[in-house]
């Protein structure tokens, strides 16, 4: 008797990019395009030789262009994520819809 085992491989799909970026928009650092499905937070402020900047944490779909939302973004870093994660430091925004 021949026994066969079939293993299903579930690959993790990275649907999101979690960005950390800086923008010179300090007094109004909201994204240029608002989408309640894409959460973002201002996590702090700094200053360089060009002036003051905001530090933004934002989730966007992996195929979405960051510069549509923050057109002056610089020092951009990102990680690819399977899903959006909320925490004490980055709580679920009141506007957020999934």
Please, are residues 33 and 69 in contact by the beta-carbon 8 Å criterion? yes
- Rounded to whole angstroms, the Cα distance separating 31 from 58 reads 9
The answer to which of 12-21, 48-57, 84-93 has the lowest mean pLDDT is 12-21
C-alpha to C-alpha distances, 53 to 33, 56, 75, 81, nearest whole angstrom: 19, 10, 11, 26
The pLDDT, as a whole number, for residue 12 is 60
Please, are residues 69 and 19 in contact by the beta-carbon 8 Å criterion? no
pLDDT greater than 80 at residue 2: no
- Rounded to whole angstroms, the Cα distance separating 64 from 92 reads 21
pLDDT tens-place string over residues 6-38: 434 445 677 999 999 999 999 999 999 999 999
pLDDT greater than 50 at residue 5: no
């Amino acid at each position: 008797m021949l026994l066969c085992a079939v293993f299903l491989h579930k690959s993790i799909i990275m649907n999101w990019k979690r960005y950390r970026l800086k923008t010179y928009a300090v007094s109004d650092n909201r994204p240029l395009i608002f989408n309640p499905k894409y959460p973002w937070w201002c996590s702090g402020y700094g200053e360089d030789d060009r002036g003051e900047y905001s530090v933004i944490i934002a989730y966007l779909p992996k195929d979405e262009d960051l510069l549509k939302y923050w057109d002056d973004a610089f020092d951009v870093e990102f990680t690819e994520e399977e899903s959006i994660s909320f925490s004490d430091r980055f709580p679920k925004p009141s506007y957020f819809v999934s």
